[in-house]
Amino acid sequence: MFGIGYPELLIIGIVAVLLFGGRLPQVARSMGKSLTEFKKGMQNLEGHVSDAIHSQPSSPAQSSPIDHDDFSEPSAPRFEPPTSPPKTVDDKPPQAVGDN
């Protein structure tokens, strides 16, 4: 059990008796209930995850309809293509900042 031998279990038992004394049965009972609740919660979580993995995704037709009247037009201007042909660049290479 987790690599713990009988001598280690005996030491743990003695320490538990010294710490909890007469309350040891009550502490063990509450720990058992807590462990049971934890296992139930984990099984419930595993069930939800399994259901989510194996369920079919809803199609757009089944989802709630979207009222398009609620949306406003974008506030950015529309793209207007240029009306004139692009300008050509001179054949001279650009000058560097320090060159005169």
Residues 70-94 pLDDT 10s: 666 667 777 888 888 877 766 565 5
| pLDDT category of residue 33 using cuts at 50, 70 and 90 | very high
What's the CA dihedral at 40, 42, 48, 50 to 10 degrees? -120
pTM here is 0.40
Give a yes or no: residue 38 inside a domain.
yes
Judge residue 24's burial from the number of C-beta atoms within 10 Å of its C-beta, 0-12 exposed, 13-18 middle, 19 or more buried. Answer: middle
Give a yes or no: residue 43 inside a domain.
yes
User: What percentage of the chain carries pLDDT values higher than 90?
Assistant: 22
What phi, psi does 30 have (nearest 5°)? Answer: -70, -35
Give a yes or no: residue 33 inside a domain.
yes
What is the end-to-end Cα distance of the chain in Å, rounded?
A: 85
Number of domains present in the structure of the chain: 1
Contact of 35 with 28, CB cutoff 8 Å: no
